[in-house]
Structure formats: structure tokens, C-alpha cells
Amino acid sequence: MDPVEQRYDAHARERIVPEPPKRVEAPERLPFERDRARVVHAASFRRLAAKTQVVGPQSDDFVRNRLTHSLEVAQIARDLSRAMGIHPDITETAALAHDLGHTPFGHNGERALAELASTCGGFEGNAQTLRLLTRLEAKTPGAGLNLTRATLDACTKYPWGRAEAAAHAGKFGVYDDDLPAFEWLRAGAPAGGRCLEAQVMDLADDVAYSVHDVEDGTVAGKVDLTHLDTAALWDTVRVWYRPDATDAELDAVLDRLRAVGSWPRTPYDGGRAGLAALKNLTSDLIGRFCGAVQQATFAATEGPFVRYAGDLVIPADTWAEITVLKGIAAHYVMEAADRVALQVRQRELLSALVEVLLDRGPDALDETYAADWHAAPDDAARTRVVIDQVASLTDASAVAWHDRLLG
């Protein structure tokens, strides 16, 4: 057996529902390989292709959607894990699964559903991911995809419930009615602590988000890396990510980024040479960030790097560079006037859709969710069913449902 594989004991490989060995002629897959296959074949994974990453997937053939973003996160997570001796199958699966719980219209849709779900335990994309993996996906009745404990733990970016969300910028990773599965997967884990595999997944998400969203914004003509209005930009960075950062500190971060050899010196012109240069920049930045984290982590501990045997070390300078790039995307793309107006309409659409589904009940729901409605013991549980249904929709299907049910 591979030495990395041997570091994961029977406790890490355990599933909620025991499964007998499969009697097939094909080569037997290892438990964590099987987990990856289950996520890849999940319906919620396929739907990511039609869900917003930053801009709507229907707006341009080039921009990322949630599926392509997840694939890129998985690639970064796998490469970093392999370099550090962390199990690559576990981190890749966590990366592929990390956005399964996202709603139509990206984070804007998530905010809308959070308000609409206030009476049934709230809504959070990461908590919805856990709900899909352990309950809603149809693989093993009562256990969702029935993944191993190590993989489920790696998928848990925020290992705490809604009651602790206020201390973590409103983020949480489990709804109250999913606590039994959460407590099972967290058996033996330190309270509030994240395993190394989850830390790698989270970093890979931040790296991909910061670099690729700037790339998309540049190609879309919204970002010009050769001419940034830093006065306004730094205000956005402070609001979104670094409230205490001074202009001088952020100027220094941008100077370091501009010193990267592939940083553009002329505006993007849409040609092949310009696109190739932009691709080189994204590659250099990903290598820069991951290399810095790998070096800092190796300097802090000798390993082995498995589950709770250590922590990923992200240098302060590296994190500052990532947040500045994320701030560029936030300022020039997410806060653009045309996008803000669109987001208002999207939230109104989701609100109206939830209202009509609560009114019409099971007759308007997909069969699986209609069955959940009939099994629900009270109004709060029925509201959760409707939230599950709406969260599962793609951008296009949410619009289609709204048109069909409301005209």
C-alpha cells in the first residue's frame, strides 16, 4: 500500500453505513478513490456547470462557472497535497465538493436564501454542502453519498453550527437537523479545529478565486491591471477583506504583485498573445502562493501531514497578496453598477419563488422534495424542504421555474 495511504486508519476510512466489498471484475478502487468517484457522479456536481461563479455562466463562453472553478480548485489542491505528502485523493474530493451547496446566482443567491430560511435554521452554502453529502444526494438512503469520515471531514470548511456563526463572520458548516452526521464525522476531532486536508481545500479555493476571477474580469474588459484606481480599490479591500489595512500597506502589497515578471505592462487587447500572457500570470501567481505556503509549512513542522498532525502555514505576505487580488475582482466586477442592479432582481426572483413553493407545496416540487415535504413534521421543516429545492436549481432553471409558476 502507498505510504500516504497507510497513514489513514480504519477510523478515517469508516462510512456512516457499512458497505460490503463489491463483487466486480474491474480493479478494486481504494476507499478515497471511491469517494471521489461518488462526488463526480453526483447530480449536484453536474448542476454546478450552470451556476454562477462571479458572473452568470450564460453571459460569456470564457468565464468560469461553479463547475470549472471547482475543477481548478481540485487541481490546485491535488498538486499542493502531493508536494506536501497529504493524501491527494481526499483533498481533491473535498475541492470538487466544496461548492455543491451553492445556490443559483452565486453568493447573491446565498444571501437571499439565508434571509428566507431564518425560521428554519438559516442557510449557508457550506452547511448545504454537508447536507447534500450526508442526506440529499441519492446513493445510500439516510447517508447521502456515504463518504468516508476523512473525506467528509475534509469537506467541512467551517466545523461549527449556526450558534457559533457570529464569531466567524456569519459562516457555519452544519444545520441543527444535520448534527447527527456532523457529530459522527467529527468523532475524535478537536472542537472547531480543521483537518489539514480541509485547510488545503480552503487555501486552494482562495488561490483559485483570487487569481481566476481577476483573469475573468480582465478578459471581460472590467479589469485593467495596468491602471488600477487604488484610492477606491483600497476602500473595497477594507470593506470586504482587510478592515484595518492602511493605504501604505496595500500599496506595498500591490508593488510586490507588480514585481512578478508576468504582471502585464500593457492593457489586455483580446489577442492570443495577450491571452497567453494572462495565462502565464495566473500560473505564476498560483505557483507563488502555493510555493510560499509549502515552504512555510515545512519550516514549521516535519510532518507527517495527515488529518490533525499539524496545520497549514500561510505567510502574512502571501495572504495579503491573495486578498488584494480578491479585492480587485470585488471592486471591478462584483460592485459594478450593472451587476448590483442585476443582483437585486435575482434576490427578488428567489424570494418570490420560495413564497409560491411554500404556498403550493408538494404539487409544485420535484418528486424527491415532495416526498420530503410529506415527511416533514412542521412548518419549519417544510420551509427547509423548499429551501433545499430552490438551492438545488441552476441559474437558468430558477428563472424557468419562476416563469412557469408566476408568469
DSSP letter string over 198-223? HHHHHHHHHHHHHHHHHHHHHHTTS-
88-97 and 66-84 helices, crossing angle to 10°: 160
Q: Return the CA Rg of the chain.
A: 22
pTM, 2 dp? 0.91
- The three grid cell numbers given for residue 231, joined into one nine-digit string: 484610492
pLDDT given at position 303? 75
pLDDT reading at 33 higher than 60: yes
Which amino acid belongs to residue 32?
A: F
- Count Cβ atoms below 10 Å from residue 316 Cβ, excluding itself: 8
pLDDT given at position 348? 94
Closest CA relative to residue 185, chosen from 35, 7, 11: 11
**Span 56-75, average pLDDT:** 75
Q: Confidence class of residue 61 from pLDDT cuts 50, 70 and 90? A: low
Residue 103, SS3 per DSSP: coil
pLDDT given at position 63? 62
Instruction: In whole angstroms, give the CA distance from residue 331 to residue 227.
Output: 13
Partners of residue 148 on adjacent β-strands: 15
- Report how many helices (DSSP H) and strands (DSSP E) the chain contains, helices first: 19, 0
- The three grid cell numbers given for residue 406, joined into one nine-digit string: 408566476
**Span 224-242, average pLDDT:** 94
pLDDT given at position 24? 61
Q: Confidence class of residue 121 from pLDDT cuts 50, 70 and 90? A: very high
pLDDT reading at 257 higher than 90: yes
**Span 123-134, average pLDDT:** 96
Please name the residue that has the C-alpha cell 442585476: 342
Closest CA relative to residue 144, chosen from 38, 215, 221, 295: 38
pLDDT reading at 400 higher than 70: yes
pLDDT given at position 210? 92
Q: Confidence class of residue 26 from pLDDT cuts 50, 70 and 90? A: low
Q: Where is pLDDT greater, at 51 or 99?
A: 99
Q: Confidence class of residue 4 from pLDDT cuts 50, 70 and 90? A: confident
Residue 8 CA: distances (Å) to CA of 12, 184, 325: 6, 17, 36
Contacts for 124 with CB less than 8 Å, ≥ 6 apart? 101, 110, 114, 158, 162, 165, 170, 171, 172, 173
Q: Where is pLDDT greater, at 57 or 183?
A: 183
pLDDT given at position 7? 82
Q: Confidence class of residue 1 from pLDDT cuts 50, 70 and 90? A: low
**Span 231-246, average pLDDT:** 94
pLDDT given at position 25? 56
337-360 and 379-392 helices, crossing angle to 10°: 130
